[in-house]
Amino acid sequence: MLLKKREVSSKQLILEMLERRLPKSHPKSTYYQEMLNRTRAGYAGEQRVDQEWQEIYLEYAHYLLHDVQLKAEGGSIHQIDTLFMSRNFVLIVEIKNIVGHVEYMEDNHQFIRITSDGKVDGFRNPFDQVKRHARFLHQIFQKAGYHIPIVYMILSANPNMIMTSSLSEQPIIHVSGLAEKVEQLFLRHSQVCLSEKDMRQIAEHILMKHDPTQWIPEIDWGALRKGALCSQCEYQHKVQYFFGKWRCSNCQRTDNKSMLIALQDYQLMMGNNISNAQFRDFFDIDSEKAAYYLLKKLKFEGSGGNKNRKYIIPANLLD
């Protein structure tokens, strides 16, 4: 049973906002664009693995929690790609979407990738990552009075990842082998450790402890372009509000959705609240009455009196 689905991370949403609003001439434009490409590739790999989970039939009671972020008492973060919970064992899955030959230097705890052109890149050791998560989850289960095996593995979401012999003894497989691996784990851990009620309670407990962090780039928000931007023109030209419609200043296309995308961008930059004055400043609208009309039409919840009124931008604005 899917208890928590995977969602686009705040990091990806903010990087996509930067792609729209950070001028190409900005010194960090290429840096953030490359970061966005990697983040999108990682999310695509996670979706590929999620699809594999959907195709696996299991007669055992279980819960799936995707993209769980837990915070330890000391403040450290545990970001778990997928948590599979059964009555027999708990499985921590770390997903990698890497292309190239991958080698593992166990003595040095070094994880490296060699590309087809001979370039060598170092990566954070995923085995140390999942072991760290396993130790933390063991503490959570122990404090709750539950005793159950906690296992882990690395899943490669990309068939173009070539695993060298240095990985042969490590808990890492391609995603195509996930179903078989889960079956093997149930054979290995045949003892039932939790009742269905206990499994449900500990799963809900972990879900309650889920505490997603907001990723914040090192950039001055003032460097970003304001207003509604035209998707037809690859967000390079503004969409102006004129006679009740949002029209691109370049291609003249009417695009009322551009205002909603812009409000979502504003929310990522400035938070959920926006006043009439802030709305006018962001969208370059002179008329206070026109801004009031647009905000009223959006039917946002508000707080405060007329002069200090703030409108609350909902999280599901584009749904």
Q: How far is CA 120 from the centre of its chain?
A: 27
Number of structural domains found in the chain: 2
In a domain, 215, yes or no: no
| Residue 319 within any structural domain of the chain | no
Asked if residue 195 and residue 258 are part of one domain, the reply reads: no
* Same-domain check for residues 123 and 242: no
Q: Indicate if 23 and 119 belong to the same structural domain.
A: yes
Q: Check residue 214 and give its pLDDT.
A: 86
Q: In 3D, which of 243, 290, 238, 286 has the Cα closest to residue 262?
A: 238
Same domain, 133 and 157: yes
Which of 156, 179, 209 is the endpoint of a domain?
A: 209
Residue 176 has pLDDT above 90, yes or no: yes
User: Is 269 in the same domain as 202?
Assistant: no
**11 occurs within a structural domain:** yes
> What band does 116 get if pLDDT is binned at 50, 70 and 90?
confident
Domain that holds residue 274: 225-312
CB 63 within 8 A of CB 1: yes
Cross-strand bridge partners of residue 120? 114
| 17-21, 78-82, 267-271: least confidently modelled range | 267-271
pLDDT recorded at residue 35: 96
Q: Please tell me whether residues 115 and 194 are part of one structural domain.
A: yes
On whether residue 115 sits in a domain, the answer given is: yes
> What angle (nearest 5°) sits at the alpha carbon of residue 258, between those of residues 256 and 263?
115
* 214 lies in some domain: no
- Give percent of the chain above pLDDT 90: 72
pLDDT of 133 higher than 90 = yes
Average pLDDT over residues 287-310: 87
Give the pLDDT band (50/70/90) at residue 119: confident
Same domain, 186 and 249: no
Asked whether residue 317 is assigned to any structural domain, the reply reads no
pLDDT of residue 11: 94
Residue 289 forms part of a structural domain: yes
Whole-angstrom Cα distance, residue 26 to residue 262? 20
Ranking 160-169, 183-192, 196-205 by mean pLDDT, the lowest is 160-169
Are residues 273 and 310 in contact, defined by beta-carbon separation less than 8 angstroms? yes
Q: Does 237 lie in the same domain as 108? A: no
Query: Is the pLDDT at 217 greater than 90, yes or no?
Result: yes
Q: Count the helix, strand and coil residues of the chain and give each as a percent rounded to the nearest 5.
A: 40, 25, 35
User: Tokens at residue 96, please?
Assistant: 């990698």
Q: Could you give the C-alpha distances from 186 to 53, 156, 191, 275, 301, in angstroms and in order?
A: 15, 21, 9, 56, 50
One domain, residues 24 and 109: yes
Residues 306 and 197 in one domain: no
**Domain assignment present for 272:** yes
pLDDT of 307: 75
DSSP 147-160: ---EEEEEEE--TT
DSSP state of 60: S
Quick one: 47 and 160 in the same domain?
yes
The pLDDT of residue 170 = 92
Question: pLDDT of 253-282, one tens digit each?
Answer: 998 889 999 999 999 999 999 999 999 999
Measured between alpha carbons, how far is 78 from 269 in angstroms, rounded to an integer? 25
What is the predicted pLDDT for the residue at 75? 84
For residues 171 and 276, membership in a common domain is answered with no
